[in-house]
Structure 1
Amino acid sequence: MHRYLRGVADVSIVACAIGALLFAARATAVAQQPPLQAADLILTNGRIVTVEDGAPDAQAIAVRGDRIIAIGSSPDMQKHRGATTQVIDLQGQLVIPGFTESHGHFTGIGQAELNLKLMPTKTWDEIVAMVAEAAKSAKPGQWIYGRGWHQEKWDVKPKENVEGFPLHKSLDVVSPNNPVLLTHASGHASFANAKAMELSNITRRTEQPLGGEILKDASGDPTGLLRETASGLIKRGAGEPKPTIQDQVARERKILELADKEVLSKGITSFHDAGSTFATVDLMKKMIDEGKLGVRLWVMLRDANERLAPGLAKYRTIDYGQGHLTVRAIKRSMDGALGPRGAWL
């Protein structure tokens, strides 16, 4: 054989050998590559909004646990389908990313589920009627709570009012023996009946608290409206049997469960909680570990400075429980709110 051709042959043999080795290596790698994990849920034939510049929309999505594992066409998702995968044909319906609540009070939402829901009310008389109904089934001395009223959303002003706010005597008529406390929609004011103020020792002689106001009528008597820090003068639960530790923990867990259910039902998957205590954060962690909270929480701590300072470093948390809890801010109120007219304007 010609020396040149022999060299070519040698090179060809070497090339073939290398190619065989590469093919074998590739085949081994493919064989060793772990199979795709099956999705728990696949949504197909929909309009998926991704909010990704490169691929703003898609037809299908695959989910495993609480993470999206694939987005693409409906045929693309078949490789993620397993024996137990739930497949939902959206039939053209829209799927969008979950909403993020930028400022809310998580426990307040849960508490509202246990109390009178005053947000939809359009008149003060409607609120009085709700309290009257609650008083019929309340135990003697049991407190009646509600939240969500806003005087600017009422169709008409109460007949008797001070600065557009009602007088407590209308509540006293329907609930003379049960203390009533109704929190403003903003959370920056509350309204109490005579029994609640009596149990809290709030009278015409009570001094105005720093950072708050007991609204009074022309004769100097409290109307029932308590702005800002004045709401803290109310002794919630006074006169009721003191709950056991077990009852208290059960109620706190129920509040978080109800809040989680409510926000998720509205499409909110991330929630900026504007002020919770160390104890509430501890309970949030525990319930996340138990798989009882589905929403992702970004929490601001709220407590007195002397309690906050020693605990901040310990409680600083980022993406705990696979991203379900972050604690990395504190809440401070520097002024009042516009709704109940407690701001310094």
Structure 2
Amino acid sequence: MINISKKIVITCLCFCSFSLFAQSQLISNIHGYTIKDGQLVQFKALQFNGDTIEEVYTEHDILPYSTQANIVRIDGKGQTLLPGLIDAHGHVLSYGLSLMRAQLRTSQSENDAVNMVKAFRQQHSNMQWIQGRGWNQVLWPSNTFPTAASLDKAFPDTPVWLVRVDGHAGWANSAAMQIAGVDAKTISPEGGEILRHSDGRPTGVFVDNAMSLITNNIPSLSVDEQQTVLLTALNALAAMGLTSVHDAGVGSDTIKAYQTLENFNKLPIRVNAMIDAEDPNFAQLMTAGPIAAGSDKLQINSVKISADGALGSRGAALIEDYSDLKGHKGLLLYSNDALIDTIEIAMKSGFQVNTHAIGDLANHIVLNEYQRLIATTQSRHLRHRIEHAQVLQLSDIPRFAELNVIASMQATHATSDKNMAVDRIGNTRIQGAYAWRKLMTSGAIIAAGSDFPIESPNPFYGLHASVTRQDHQNQPFNGWYRKEKMNLTEALASFTSNAAYAAHQESMIGELRPGMKADFILIEDDIFTTPYEDMWKVTVNETWVNGKRVH
């Protein structure tokens, strides 16, 4: 027994000695930038040991002697080194699936979209259902929703389901509707709408909660299949310079898939997963409380709720009518009682609550309920969030800082929506829409994301949109509602320190300083000297997570 104890002690000492004296790594010959207390800090070298940063060397600091032992030296070759970028709102499984489905983002018309699906089908002939994503009727000459008829000509027997770019509407053919049992007699569910012809027949387009009429009939992925899809997505995100992502709404099976990947140390980047409030096991998950993960790669301590739809499909809930559709105010996806119950259960269970709200009515309702329930549950410290916070009454803007609520926003939504936003809400309400500067001036913290696959997950697209309010053709001149722009330091903070703060991870990631995790990227161009209009073209050469290169 004594010998065994001695062996254990010796083994532990050896392990500790190895940990203490593991070789440090020093990256020099770089243009380094990080954020500290909201301010930009420049540095010339970064030293880390294992997964932890040891030193950040600024201009006047002396680097270790080249002969110093236990330091592996890496030549940065003049590249720019930034903290690992964090996407505070994406959909990992959907993004992975989008890489395996028909891509319709560039479709120029309804017929063009159908032709793109036909081309996709030729390459994927074994699929029982044909699925795709990305169409946007606002960009088509017709500016009208598509119909099943155009799909039926190409696919009379195979079910087709194509999700709109914002994820809040879907386009089905007749074969899909027949499998789902949808016809003129089918009633639109609460919080959803079946678009219809004048005679009552479904056109093939389903908005928000009505989408489930079709999707409930599509075979589900197994947990093993989800692991493959998640890994495909996460590796693609790493290649774009993302070292962490907040996955906005995951179900029980996806949680199991993430946990399995984590258990086998297969997660290439960090995941902060939000439990989907619509999951069938939601009540049990809330009773169990925040899920303790086995490593710092996976965190599950928040809940995702969707209060309304999207602006492009006119599902965002507005206080007054849509400017381009009188008598229509959008859709609330929950009854008031159900929304209150869901938020309250999550807060009482110790979860951060992250609620999707796009229209000014949805945002107002969520802020009202947050104000009341944060007080009764004493959960202000949980830093609850509103996802998108897209169209706000001016009087609601100061309430974010007052309630310690984070605005989780996506810069590329503004540059994508500029083609239709004013049509939808008019010149007065637009003053409170995509209002980054007004929110920041009021003291709110903005955590940036992309909402992929609705938008590209490329964070440099988001940085570009943040500082220019322009599309990739540099339009409009000087930026769309340019007074709402961020400066580059603010934009970088929104994708690093602010996003980390929004996940309660600000002591671990988001900045490069001693004691923090060694999450960083190396890029070809110095974003602080690159013309703003070219920032979206920046390429990522290397991505490091926990001191290991993952791309």
- Fold shared by both chains (TM-score > 0.5): yes
Match of 1:101 in 2: 87
1:147 maps onto 2:133 in alignment: yes
Shift of 1:75: 3.4
Match of 2:406 in 1: none
Task: Tell me the TM-score normalized by structure 1.
Answer: 0.76
Residue deviations 1:85-117 (CA, integer Å, cap 9, x gap): 5x5422222111122212121211111111112
Deviates further, 302-311 or 247-256: 302-311
Residue deviations 1:308-338 (CA, integer Å, cap 9, x gap): 22222435036x3442122122222222221
Match of 1:75 in 2: 63
Pick one of 102, 109, 113 that aligns with 1:116.
Answer: 102
Q: Write out aligned runs for 1:114-263 (5 A).
A: 114-139=100-125, 142-152=128-138, 154-157=139-142, 164-235=144-215, 248-263=222-237
Deviates further, 130-139 or 325-334: 130-139
CA contact (8 A) 2:46 2:56 kept: yes
**Equivalent-residue separation in structure 1 for 2:122 and 2:30 (angstroms):** 50
Shift in alpha-carbon separation, 1:297–1:288, aligned structure 2, 3 A = same
CA contact (8 A) 2:223 2:257 kept: no
RMSD value, Cα: 3.0
Match of 1:325 in 2: 298
**Unmatched segments (≥5 aa) in structure 1:** 1-31, 159-163
1:339 maps onto 2:312 in alignment: yes
**Equivalent-residue separation in structure 1 for 2:95 and 2:54 (angstroms):** 32
Match of 1:298 in 2: 272
CA contact (8 A) 1:135 1:144 kept: yes
Structure exhibiting the larger radius of gyration computed from Cα positions: 1
CA contact (8 A) 2:224 2:257 kept: no
Whichever residue aligns with residue 314 of structure 1, its letter is A
CA contact (8 A) 1:36 1:80 kept: no
Residue deviations 1:246-273 (CA, integer Å, cap 9, x gap): x823311111101211221221212111
SS in 2 for 1:45: strand
Residue deviations 1:43-75 (CA, integer Å, cap 9, x gap): 220011122369812112234444333322683
Whichever residue aligns with residue 76 of structure 1, its letter is P
Shift in alpha-carbon separation, 1:64–1:332, aligned structure 2, 3 A = same
**Equivalent-residue separation in structure 2 for 1:123 and 1:249 (angstroms):** 36
**Equivalent-residue separation in structure 1 for 2:56 and 2:89 (angstroms):** 30
Shift of 1:137: 4.6
Task: Tell me the TM-score normalized by structure 2.
Answer: 0.49
% of aligned pairs identical? 29
CA contact (8 A) 1:317 1:325 kept: no
**Equivalent-residue separation in structure 2 for 1:81 and 1:219 (angstroms):** 81
Whichever residue aligns with residue 187 of structure 2, its letter is E
**Equivalent-residue separation in structure 1 for 2:206 and 2:64 (angstroms):** 60
Match of 2:76 in 1: 90
Shift of 1:293: 0.9
Match of 2:44 in 1: 59
CA contact (8 A) 1:296 1:324 kept: yes
Which structure would you say has the larger RCO, counting Cα contacts within 8 Å and 6 or more residues apart? 2
Shift of 1:133: 1.6
CA contact (8 A) 1:140 1:177 kept: no
CA contact (8 A) 2:223 2:253 kept: no
Shift of 1:233: 0.3
Shift in alpha-carbon separation, 1:285–1:35, aligned structure 2, 3 A = closer
SS in 2 for 1:252: helix
Shift in alpha-carbon separation, 1:33–1:248, aligned structure 2, 3 A = closer
SS in 2 for 1:59: strand
**Unmatched segments (≥5 aa) in structure 2:** 1-16, 318-328, 330-551
Shift in alpha-carbon separation, 1:62–1:317, aligned structure 2, 3 A = farther
SS in 2 for 1:95: strand
Shift of 1:121: 3.1
CA contact (8 A) 2:110 2:140 kept: no
Matched length: 298
Residue deviations 1:261-311 (CA, integer Å, cap 9, x gap): 122122121211111112211221221121211222222111448732222
Match of 1:285 in 2: 259
